[in-house]
Homo-oligomer: A and B are copies of this chain.
Amino acid sequence: MLGETTRDRRQERREATKNEILEAAWDMAREGGLASLSLRDLARRVGMSAPSLYGYFDSKMAIYDAMFGQGAQQYLEYARNRPRSGDPLEELQLGMRNFVAFCTEDPVRYQLLFQRPIPGFEPSPESYAPSIEGLALVRQQLADAGLTDQKALDLLTAIGNGLADQQISNDPGGDRWTRLVDDAMEMLFDHMTKKATKARGRTKK
């Protein structure tokens, strides 16, 4: 059949082990912070010696890179599968709820994807690709809702970033800031339509 090839059991096993290593890496990062990841501890956690990890990843940075790729892929799916609405305001609210939920659901993932706290780490083009695709998708979703003004988009990202950040930093596990999402989006929406009206006025004059 087209695109199908013989199953390579060796390769499958190898991928499974890589995933097992990455899962353990996420666990470690969630416990002690991203920077706390050490190859010794990681190896012990998956039941092998530290040098054996090099059979699966070229370096510690390669592990961070793979984690970044997983996170970006997860975000892409999050953005693809979220509920949609025909109403622009509701669409804005659903989109932002989705974003903030994604961020607060796993603070370490948020940190890795959006805050770049690892000195010297830059994601490779391969790992970055789904991230770009995700951003393009969100941008398209917003455009569908009639949101194309760059300043409004910048303000939107600032609000989203700020809500997620405050929630994670100052009320982890709670909802002190996440509950403000709908209200904040209503505020932004009102503000945009008000400015759009004024702008039309100026144009017609």
Residues of A participating in the B interface, judged by any CB pair closer than 8 Å: 32-33, 35-36, 115-117, 119, 151, 154-155, 157-163, 165-166, 169, 176-177, 180, 183-184, 186-188, 190-191, 194
The 3 A-B residue pairs with the shortest CB-CB distance, nearest first, are: A162-B162, A158-B162, A187-B191
Which residue of chain B has its CB nearest to the CB of A158? B162
Chain A binding site: helix, strand, loop or mixed by DSSP? helix
- Chain multiplicity (copies): 2
Taking CB atoms, residues of chain B closer than 8 Å to A176 are: 154
- Quote the shortest CB–CB distance from A148 to chain B (angstroms): 16
Taking CB atoms, residues of chain B closer than 8 Å to A35 are: 35, 119
Task: Say yes or no: A165 contacts B165, CB within 8 Å.
Answer: yes
Taking CB atoms, residues of chain B closer than 8 Å to A163 are: 158, 162
Q: Specify which of A32, A35, A159, A183 lies most central, judged by the most chain B CB atoms within 10 Å of its CB.
A: A159
Q: How far is the CA of A188 from the CA of B119 in the complex (A)?
A: 36
Which residue of chain B has its CB nearest to the CB of A157? B166
Q: How far is the CA of A120 from the CA of B150 in the complex (A)?
A: 39
Q: How far is the CA of A151 from the CA of B186 in the complex (A)?
A: 14
Taking CB atoms, residues of chain B closer than 8 Å to A154 are: 166, 176-177, 180
Given contacts A159-B159, A161-B162, 18 further A-B contacts (CB under 8 A): A32-B119, A115-B169, A154-B176, A155-B183, A157-B162, A157-B166, A158-B162, A158-B163, A158-B166, A158-B184, A161-B165, A162-B163, A162-B165, A165-B165, A183-B191, A186-B191, A190-B194, A191-B191
Q: How far is the CA of A97 from the CA of B184 in the complex (A)?
A: 20
- Quote the shortest CB–CB distance from A20 to chain B (angstroms): 26
- Quote the shortest CB–CB distance from A162 to chain B (angstroms): 2
Q: How far is the CA of A163 from the CA of B163 in the complex (A)?
A: 11
Taking CB atoms, residues of chain B closer than 8 Å to A157 are: 162, 166
Which residue of chain B has its CB nearest to the CB of A115? B169
Taking CB atoms, residues of chain B closer than 8 Å to A166 are: 154, 157-158, 161
Taking CB atoms, residues of chain B closer than 8 Å to A116 are: 169
